[in-house]
Chains A and B, each alone.
Chain A
Amino acid sequence: DAGVTQSPTHLIKTRGQQVTLRCSPKSGHDTVSWYQQALGQGPQFIFQYYEEEERQRGNFPDRFSGHQFPNYSSELNVNALLLGDSALYLCASSRGQGYDGYTFGSGTRLTVV
């Protein structure tokens, strides 16, 4: 049973560029959440998608946007990259509200230079 798959694993971008990160949820899960984890810090909630709509959003600017597809996979887009966007981006999937907990992927390490 495949878990959460994220791609790519590593990415280097230049300041001002745009990036797209991808996530395939665990089989049977329909909800996808994205988190940003700066080095040495805990993950910070970006947003959550359910039924192809953004259900909840954290304190992140509009440069961060997302999408969920009919097969429940999701994309995270970041425009006008800043040096401060360098972080590990984690995708977490769950069934419905996630009361049983979330299954996380191994993340995408984004470096902005």
Chain B
Amino acid sequence: AQTVTQSQPEMSVQEAETVTLSCTYDTSESDYYLFWYKQPPSRQMILVIRQEAYKQQNATENRFSVNFQKAAKSFSLKISDSQLGDAAMYFCAYRSVFTGANSKLTFGKGITLSVRP
């Protein structure tokens, strides 16, 4: 079974600065998908960024980028130019590439990010 670990329960960043959120995972599969989701106080999970394990290039979405280290099974999220609206809980999630019975998302426990004005 796959596991996702987010060992930092809380992090804080100054507005306009850069912050990196860590995530490690464990799997015996060679191909899979990794996601970062943001959950603001509104409770809705919002997809931030998605990485396909077979792709060497790290995914980027505007101010959000990942550092994907497949051998180390590490998947960190970097937020540049942090904004007050980035304050939320962030979850790292894993999904197998296999169809049907393995299409669930496995989440970590999450990191609470606060942004100081």
**Do these two chains interact?**
yes
Q: Are B44 and A105 in contact (CB under 8 A)?
A: yes
Residues of B within 8 A of A48 (CB): 103-104
- Give the distance to chain A from B44, nearest Cβ to Cβ, in Å: 4
Known: A33-B104, A43-B105, A58-B104. A88 touches B43 (CB 8 A): yes
> Residue B74 at the A interface, CB < 8 A?
no
> Residue B70 at the A interface, CB < 8 A?
no
Query: Closest residue to A105 on the B side, CB-wise?
Result: B44
- Give the distance to chain B from A111, nearest Cβ to Cβ, in Å: 14
- In angstroms, Cα B44 to Cα A109, docked, is 12
Residues of A within 8 A of B103 (CB): 31, 48, 55-56, 97-98
Q: Are B100 and A55 in contact (CB under 8 A)?
A: yes
Residues of A within 8 A of B37 (CB): 104
Number of B residues whose C-beta is below 8 Å from A? 28
- Give the distance to chain B from A25, nearest Cβ to Cβ, in Å: 14
Q: Are B42 and A101 in contact (CB under 8 A)?
A: no
Say which residue of A41, A92, A98, A107 sits within 8 Å of B43 (CB atoms): A107
> Residue A90 at the B interface, CB < 8 A?
yes
Say which residue of A42, A58, A101, A107 sits within 8 Å of B108 (CB atoms): A42
Q: Are B105 and A99 in contact (CB under 8 A)?
A: no
Residues of B within 8 A of A109 (CB): 43
- Give the distance to chain B from A77, nearest Cβ to Cβ, in Å: 19
Q: Are A101 and B99 in contact (CB under 8 A)?
A: no
Residues of B within 8 A of A58 (CB): 104
- Residue-wise, chain B 88-117 has the 8 Å CB interface mask toward A (1 for contact) of 000101010101111111111110000000
Q: Are B45 and A92 in contact (CB under 8 A)?
A: yes
CB-based closest 6 A-B pairs:
A42-B107, A104-B45, A45-B104, A106-B44, A101-B47, A107-B43
